[in-house]
A and B are shown apart, each in its own frame.
Chain A
């Protein structure tokens, strides 16, 4: 079976010069830095696949290899069945790439001209290209900026234009390297929605998205891999990954001061239960770890039986952050 993306024991080592030490007189010795180590991935056609990891984890290096910009040191990488090392040309016909915070094109050109220029590098007839560009400018809400010079655009507008640049060539596989980096909530939301709609609109379209925003990965991705220090530490659906941390859910109640919270113990379906009084507010904070959410009705009736009023109830699922912490022993930030 041909995967959209497949890597086998993919390793990339960079050789970097050490700083010269004046006293020791050692002359610019080189050292190896491993950016990727034995990465094995399989991304199926039509998947929206996420790569989640902290800065310096190897996400961009992997994208560069898959985009034919960088060769692996060892191992193999295939895009749509083509070897990135031996057959870069067929790959380039079907891919595109968008990076967060990139400045592409020429500041002297207008948004529309810049996009048109890039469309020509993919051989799209001018008329067709302009039609697509106009439609996408409208969809991204920057139609009014079509004739503005690129250098005058705001960060969000520029990034929207970059995203248009990537998608307007209608690639089969698109690599998105932190596409919402540094954007405000609204701009990020528009871009996320577009990505999600695009991949589902036509079958066979594949997205590889790298991010260190967990919410983004959780919201968008069918499957995701967690990468740290060049290695994949887990790969599954967001839901399954979260289940590996805990199969339970966490419920938090804020109620009137409870004289005897221990009476809440022993309800069927509760795995764990803790409480904390807030004397100043005259409230009690109850936290239940439940295996079975049907226990909620019993909890509520026992609280009400004690004559207390429920002020808030929050159900907290395990997050990808929890998954990440449990797998690599540190946070994402």
Chain B
């Protein structure tokens, strides 16, 4: 019974999220919009690379490392933003948060449902960015040599982990004012620096590397690269010697840890927000 209700919440919230995301314009414009942002983000790195090294063909393994890390990082930005923004948008703009909050549905399922549309849009953006990388920039991803099992398994675990982290941030957003956009931007930035997204974590000072090893996104991105380019691995990344099975295990364990941590943070944020009367706060200025 509860499962059925949760599923209904998930689907209803998913539908609502999609309407909010997409019904302001026609589908073509929406698609262009959804793709233009991430592709531009990827192109910034491409240009940085070209400016410094003279072309993408130079050090092609390093280029593939940077490009793929950046492509999959689209998920991190979108999912963290999507989950966190639900709180801000519902509370301050539509002022419906209090109504959802007092309804008997599971708030977790509601947030996850609302973020579902972001995951879908992010998937389109990731696929388009990857296709651009393969066909325009010559990254040697081949559908026949890819490790599909690793890809599907790690993509699923990674998504669950990202949603968990997003929920923790949503808990913090309960307590913060208008600048809650900064949480997404900031935490995503934190992962961008410390998780070996666009440069190997060995570039970081020792304490930064330790931090990177503690965040599941680091293992997730490495697993994604290994799944797409099993034969071409960059040396000196700090993770190059780890077997796939251990990579998956590390990802699963750190994801599980973050899952429990997220629930704890969300509940604490929720409790403190109720105590401070911030559930229906509006802070625009």
Contact = CB atoms under 8 A, between A and B. Distances in A.
Interface stretch (A101-109, A170-178, A226-234): A101-109
Interface stretch (B50-58, B114-122, B211-219, B277-285): B277-285
A151 B284 CA distance: 11
Interface string A107-131: 1110000000000000000000000
A76 to B, nearest CB: 35
Contacts of A103: 282
Contact of B281 (A106, A107, A109): A107
Contacts of B282: 103, 107, 151
Contacts of A151: 281-283
Nearest to A28: B26
A54 B174 CA distance: 39
A107 B177 CA distance: 11
Nearest to A103: B282
Nearest to A152: B277
A306 to B, nearest CB: 60
A103 B92 CA distance: 12
Nearest to B278: A151
Contacts of A108: 177, 283, 285
**Interface residues of chain B: helix, strand, loop or mixed (majority):** loop
Contacts of B177: 108
Nearest to B277: A152
A152 B284 CA distance: 14
A106 B285 CA distance: 6
Interface string A197-240: 00000000000000000000000000000000000000000000
Contacts, number: 16
Interface in A228-260: none
A103 B277 CA distance: 18
Contacts of A152: 277
B272 to A, nearest CB: 17
Interface string B108-144: 0000000000000000000000000000000000000
Nearest to B284: A106
Contacts of B284: 106-107
Nearest to B92: A107
A108 B177 CA distance: 10
A184 B282 CA distance: 24
Interface string B265-280: 0000000000001000
A103 B283 CA distance: 12
A106 B284 CA distance: 6
A106 B92 CA distance: 12
A235 B159 CA distance: 65
A103 B93 CA distance: 12
Interface in B227-285: 277, 281-285
A107 B283 CA distance: 5
A115 to B, nearest CB: 16
Interface string A80-117: 00000000000000000000000100111100000000
A165 to B, nearest CB: 17
A248 B282 CA distance: 54
Contacts of B277: 152
A293 to B, nearest CB: 53
Nearest to B281: A151
A107 B277 CA distance: 13
A151 B177 CA distance: 12
Nearest to A109: B285
Contacts of B283: 107-108, 151
Contacts of B285: 106-109
Contacts of A106: 284-285
A254 B253 CA distance: 82
A56 B277 CA distance: 34
A7 B11 CA distance: 50
Nearest to A27: B26
B253 to A, nearest CB: 43
B188 to A, nearest CB: 26
A107 B281 CA distance: 8
B152 to A, nearest CB: 33
B164 to A, nearest CB: 31
A109 B285 CA distance: 9
A103 B282 CA distance: 10
A108 B278 CA distance: 13
Nearest to B280: A151
Interface in B150-189: 177
A28 to B, nearest CB: 10
A151 B277 CA distance: 10
Contacts of A109: 285
B283 to A, nearest CB: 6
Contacts of A107: 281-285
B178 to A, nearest CB: 9
A152 B281 CA distance: 9
A145 to B, nearest CB: 16
Interface string A141-166: 00000000001100000000000000
Q: Which 10 residue pairs spanning A and B have beta carbons closest together? A: A106-B285, A107-B282, A108-B285, A107-B283, A108-B283, A151-B282, A151-B281, A106-B284, A107-B281, A107-B284
Given A107-B285, A108-B177, A108-B283, 12 more contacts: A103-B282, A106-B284, A106-B285, A107-B281, A107-B282, A107-B283, A107-B284, A108-B285, A109-B285, A151-B281, A151-B282, A152-B277
Interface of B: 177, 277, 281-285
14 contacts: A103-B282, A106-B284, A106-B285, A107-B281, A107-B282, A107-B284, A107-B285, A108-B283, A108-B285, A109-B285, A151-B281, A151-B282, A151-B283, A152-B277
